[in-house]
Amino acid sequence: MRIIPAIDIIEGKCVRLSKGDYDTKKIYNENPLEVAKSFEAHGIQYLHLVDLDGAKFSRIVNYKILEQIASKTSLKIDFGGGLKSDADLKIAFESGANQITGGSIAIKQPEVFKKWIQQFGADKIILGADAMNEKVAISGWLEESKEEVIPFIQSYQQEGIQYVICTDISKDGMLEGPSFELYKRILDSDLSNQDCHFERSREARLKLIASGGISTFDELPKLAELGCEGTIIGKAIYEGRISLKQLENYILS
């Protein structure tokens, strides 16, 4: 299972929120590049970089931070937050993103998102399926849609999506543990396992990335056992609940 630390950006600073509430903002470091380099120094290869300003204003904002981290580390970066147009995607990829995550746009402008999957390929586009009460939340988690998370994921799996980041917003930043039950049900609903008309191949399998609520190192093997392809870890690192040395040893084991 891939270990993917998170850096969330507001006004160029590394912050964390609780349950996606901007009023709970806590600044952990004024220099996101410094944080990214500390991850790299411990053998971490991946980074989840979120432009929270972009999510709020529905356009890419902190691409200079992306460019700085991408050019000065070897981390493979998935970038999200406010990507709404072809121009936003062009800026993100040109600034060094390895993958981009789209959430709100997959609900509000599905034809645009489907076009991105076809244009860039399933290895470059991640579906952001973040949920509150199992309904997909959008616009930086400020709105709840009517879409239920599992059918939503399945509908995009039929469009070719493989990578899905799912955050249970009620768990995010709370350090109370991830949504094991929700992730199990998502993985059990993987169309490549159950639909005889769906292409049965290793490549078509759902690559679920767990996010939100990770609080202790012991939760990581449990997520791996469930079948999660990766896990995003944020506040647990910043609050010292999980050390970078523990993650380094996990990656090397």
User: pLDDT per residue over 145-185, tens digit each?
Assistant: 788 999 999 999 999 999 999 988 877 667 789 999 999 99
Task: With cut-offs at 50, 70 and 90, classify the pLDDT of residue 197.
Answer: low
Catalytic residue among 8, 51, 88, 172: 8
CA angle 40, 60, 45 (to 5 degrees): 15
Q: How many CA atoms lie within 13 A of 164 on its CB side?
A: 33
Q: pTM of the predicted model, to two decimals?
A: 0.91
DSSP state of 148: E
Residue identified by tokens 């380099």 is 37
- Does the annotation mark 130 as catalytic? yes
DSSP state of 208: E
How far is 82 from 102, CA to CA, in rounded Å? Answer: 8
Domains of the chain listed by start with CATH number: 2-252 (3.20.20.70)
What average pLDDT does the chain have? Answer: 91
Q: Kind of pairing, strands 125-128 and 131-132? A: unpaired
**Where would I find the beta strands (DSSP E) of the chain?**
2-10, 13-18, 21-29, 46-51, 76-80, 99-102, 125-128, 131-132, 135-138, 143-148, 163-167, 207-211, 230-233
Instruction: Work out the average pLDDT over 90-113.
Output: 95
The closest of 106, 112, 113, 100 to 129, measured between CA atoms, is 106
Report the range out of 94-98, 195-199, 204-208 with the highest average pLDDT. 94-98
Catalytic residue among 53, 78, 88, 130: 130
